[in-house]
Amino acid sequence: MTIKEAQKTVDNWITTTGVRYFNELTNMAILTEEVGEVARIMARKYGEQSFKETDKSNLADELADVLWVVMAIANQTGVDLTDAFNKNIEKKNKRDKNRHKENIKLK
């Protein structure tokens, strides 16, 4: 599935099963919540915190939730994520061409 197809899938689901988009601020709050769930798993799996019995530990599902909400926000604000991502890669290639290779902290 391409990014464009994924955005369309999210839009189709929201406008049929989900009835309508939440407003942009609500979706921003939901995105923050989903990123927090990813952070909780990362802190427990790769960091120094331990899991609680009630913790969810499905990192793939939580990352997919983040992606879903990002696509919803992109849809409702008119952002073509394929185009935006391609431009972002181009920016990084120009700006960071030698930056990381020359970073002594990474050697």
Q: What span, in angstroms and rounded, lies between the C-alpha atoms of 61 and 63?
A: 5
Measured in whole angstroms, the distance separating CA 12 from the mean position of its chain's CA atoms is 19
Gyration radius from the chain CA atoms: 17
Residue 106 resides in a domain: no
pLDDT tens per residue, range 70-97: 999 999 999 999 999 999 999 999 998 8
pTM check: above 0.85: yes
Residue 96 resides in a domain: no
pLDDT tens per residue, range 10-56: 999 999 999 999 999 999 999 999 999 999 999 999 999 888 887 76
CATH of the domain at 60: 1.10.287.1080
Q: What span, in angstroms and rounded, lies between the C-alpha atoms of 106 and 100?
A: 7
Residue 13 resides in a domain: yes
Of 56, 54, 31, which Cα lies nearest the Cα of 45? Answer: 56
| Position 101 pLDDT exceeds 90 | no
Number of domains composing the chain: 1
Residue 100 resides in a domain: no
Domain span including residue 16: 3-80
